[in-house]
Amino acid sequence: MAAHTTNYVATFIEVAEDCPVEHASEPPATEKPTIAALHYRLIAEQPYARTSDDVIFETHALRTGVPLDDAEAREAFFSKGQPCLRSSPLGKRYGWGIHHDAEGRVALVPRESEEYALLAADPALAHTRAMRSRRA
């Protein structure tokens, strides 16, 4: 059974066309961390340390109590397709671009930053957008 992946390589996910904010913001802290808050924490605390698959699985594990180092659980999780970071609230709602480096590791880039403008204009990267919140 082939494993699915959410990883991109040398790709920049720009914020969604209907993202409601002009400046990137940290998702609010809640008693039970939201997917947005977990994605933010995992990526922002260690930029370029994790791949998209790492972030998606660790978010699942933290929300469900699965041990992070459970290789069988990870394999079972990725035996079905999983939504990639294009569907993350970070790019849809909170104004963060997501840069995947040449090894597929991810970092957050605030939409109002010079780095965002440079990455958005970089012809060496593949470009895609975060998914829209609403249909056009």
Please list the residues that pair with 96 across neighbouring strands: 110
**pTM of whole model > 0.75?**
yes
**Band of pLDDT at residue 47, cut at 50, 70 and 90:** very high
What is the percent of the chain with per-residue pLDDT over 90, rounded to a whole number?
Answer: 92
Encode pLDDT of 51-86 as tens digits.
999 999 999 999 999 999 999 999 999 999 999 999
* 28-58 per-residue burial string, b: 16 or more CB within 10 A, e: under 16: eeeeebebbbbbbbbbeeeeeebbbbbbbbb
- In this predicted structure, the answer to whether residue 135 has a pLDDT above a threshold of 90 is no
